Amino acid sequence: MVDMSTQQQTTTTVVLGDAPLSIDDVVAVARHGAPVSISEAAWERVRSARSIIEGLAEDTVAHYGVSTGFGALATTHIPHAKRAQLQRSLVRSHAAGTGSEVEDEVVRALMLLRVQTLATGRTGIREETLRLYLALLQYDISPVVHEYGSLGCSGDLSPLSHCALTLMGEGRVRVAGGDEIGAAAALADAGLAPVELHEKEGLALINGTDGMLGMLCLAVHDLRDLLVNADIAAAMSVEGLLGTDDVFAADLQGLRPHPGQGLAAANMRAVLRDSPIRDSHRDPQACTRVQDAYSLRCAPQVHGGARDTVEHAASVADHELASAIDNPVITPDGRVESNGNFHGAPVAYVLDFLAIVAADVASMSERRTDRFLDVKRSHGLPPFLADDPGTDSGLMIAQYTAAGMVSEMKRLAAPSSVDSIPSSAMQEDHVSMGWGAARKLRRSVDALSRVVAIELHTAARGIALRGPLRPAPATGAVIDALAEHGEIAPGPDRFTAPDLAATHLAVVDGSVRAAAESVAGPLA
């Protein structure tokens, strides 16, 4: 997965209850361990909502989730004496995940978002239970959550149940990313006591889209940064392949005024500004090419379309971050009502959209990489940018690596949200598969960062082979930053994987963008 944990961290406390969370808040808590608190106004709402639930618990009329079973068993009345067991059974039975362990940042995002919903005063959670959930974040206790178990409706049931299990002192956890231990031991070591769940609390803890939303927030954050890196890489490829920046002119881009396209073109113009390599073939008599290939000429259109899709996904995330998702839910006027807000379709759709654009941006990046290596299309560069072609293979197999990832990304772009397998004896007869969409998107975002890194590495070598011509000042700064991370200079074949890993680190730790911006100014 993309690991941007080395980028700027924050210790500013994220306060829940006064305003919706932002995407940056989610990243700060999930990835950088920012502290979390709940406002006093939110605590008052929590206490008020709980009093409503306690009143219903004594009612002779059955109320879903309070005095009934769940799902297809919603018509089964549960007597008072069995209601604590009802909540325990709900969490235990729904903690049915399997497969690989989910990343810590995803679990922390999931927990943060569930705590936020619980703090809205719309779920009926007890204050004691919510304080313990908040403490899991504060003490960096992360339940072990598994890859498979959610259909994205009713929310991310199994992942959230593994977290709820921890509140009961059951299941397995990791503390500060350490070895897996029992939840009871982890709570005791932190001076915390497990809780016994009361009426409605089991549902309140597990009935939300928090896992898929957390992964959406992380993906939007990472893609916003990766698209800037893709613009930098594309500009370097245009320069190294003796392409033209004339097509990126603001007036031409303005003829098709998509906002993302304009931003991408502006970034590329800024990176290419004052390039001696570009100036060397500006005379039409010295350059007989009429138009560059699409992978060079149309980069702003593709990168821009990707940007606009990411911002649409961000708007969906913002709406979700302002939501209170549970079923049943306590309305502002005190009613307890069933609803369908737990359905993950809105999130699932944009998760799928993002996998599509990530694959397309990567596909175009790989095509630019390939042009550098083909002597018939590289305009004077040696085959595969090799030092001694034939004896040396240069970056031949680096392109294979990029092509393999792009091929996988195309498979990952097949949407999850068009699928549905009915569950719970046909009571839950349409589900979103949003969790699956989020899981495959994480793999796709990681692959995009690596494909772009391979293009940057290739372009840096191609530009070096244009010597004695100098690159643009911004391009030169990027090449210097890459050189600080690892070997990028042309020369006899060497162990390639460490060089590519070093360039990838320069992408995800922010070095490439920072270097370009140190000369070109802020890139959007």
| Residues 482 and 362 grouped into a single domain | yes
pLDDT at 1 over 70: no
110/193 same-domain check: yes
Confidence of residue 80 (pLDDT cuts 50, 70, 90): confident
Looking at the fold, whether 160 and 235 belong to one and the same domain comes out as no
Q: What is the pLDDT of residue 451?
A: 99
Contact 434, 212 (CB under 8 A): yes
**Same domain, residue pair 197 and 317:** no
341 falls within a domain: no
pLDDT of residue 428: 83
Q: What percent of the chain has pLDDT over 90?
A: 87
Q: Which of 133, 124, 268, 227 is nearest to 187 (CA)?
A: 133
> Any idea which residues carry the catalytic annotation?
64
Q: What is the mean pLDDT of residues 257-282?
A: 96
Percent of the chain with pLDDT over 70: 96
Q: CA 363, CA 402: separation in Å to the nearest integer?
A: 9
Q: Tell how strand 98-101 and strand 146-148 pair up.
A: antiparallel
pLDDT mean over 48-59: 89
DSSP lists the bridge partners of residue 77 as 68
Kindly report which listed range (287-296, 334-343, 465-474) carries the lowest average pLDDT score.
287-296
User: Is the pLDDT confidence value at 142 over 90?
Assistant: yes
Backbone torsions φ then ψ of 22, nearest 5 degrees: -105, 165
111 pLDDT higher than 70: yes
6 pLDDT band (50/70/90 cuts)?
A: very low
More confident residue, 9 or 130: 130
pTM: 0.95
Cβ atoms 198, 87 nearer than 8 A: yes
- Residue 402 · residue 433 · CB < 8 Å: no
Q: What is the mean pLDDT of residues 153-160?
A: 91
Examine the domain organization and report whether 139 and 248 are in the same domain.
no
Question: Could you say which of 181, 207, 233 is where a domain stops?
Answer: 207
pLDDT at residue 154 is higher than 90? no
pLDDT at 390: 96
Indicate whether 89 belongs to any domain: yes
d(CA 426, CA 224): 40
170 and 128 in a common domain: yes
Residue 353 in contact with residue 416, Cβ under 8 Å?
Answer: no
At 286, the pLDDT band (50, 70, 90 cuts) reads: low
Answer yes or no: is pLDDT of 34 > 90.
yes
Other residues' Cβ atoms within 10 Å of the Cβ of residue 428: 19
One domain, residues 374 and 252: yes
Considering 154, 181, 207, which residue would you say is the last residue of a domain?
Answer: 207
What's residue 61's pLDDT? 77
Comparing 66 with 86, the larger pLDDT belongs to 86
Half-sphere exposure of 140 (CA within 13 A, CB side): 14
Interior CA angle at 36 toward 100 and 29, to 5°? Answer: 40
- Residue 67 — pLDDT band, cuts 50, 70, 90? confident
Same domain as 415, residue 299:
yes
The pLDDT tens digits for 425-460 are: 888 888 999 999 999 999 999 999 999 999 999 999
Same domain as 495, residue 381: yes
Residue 385: inside a domain, yes or no? Answer: yes
Is there a single domain that holds both residue 250 and residue 198?
A: no
Same domain, 35 and 151: yes
Q: Is residue 488 scored above 90 in pLDDT?
A: yes
Question: Is 345 contained in some domain?
Answer: no
Domain interval for residue 276: 216-327+354-520
The residue-averaged pLDDT of 57-74 equals 72
Using one digit for the tens of pLDDT, what is the confidence trace for 173-198? 999 999 999 999 999 999 999 999 99
Name the domain count of the chain: 2
Domain final position from 182, 207, 232: 207
CATH number at residue 258: 1.20.200.10
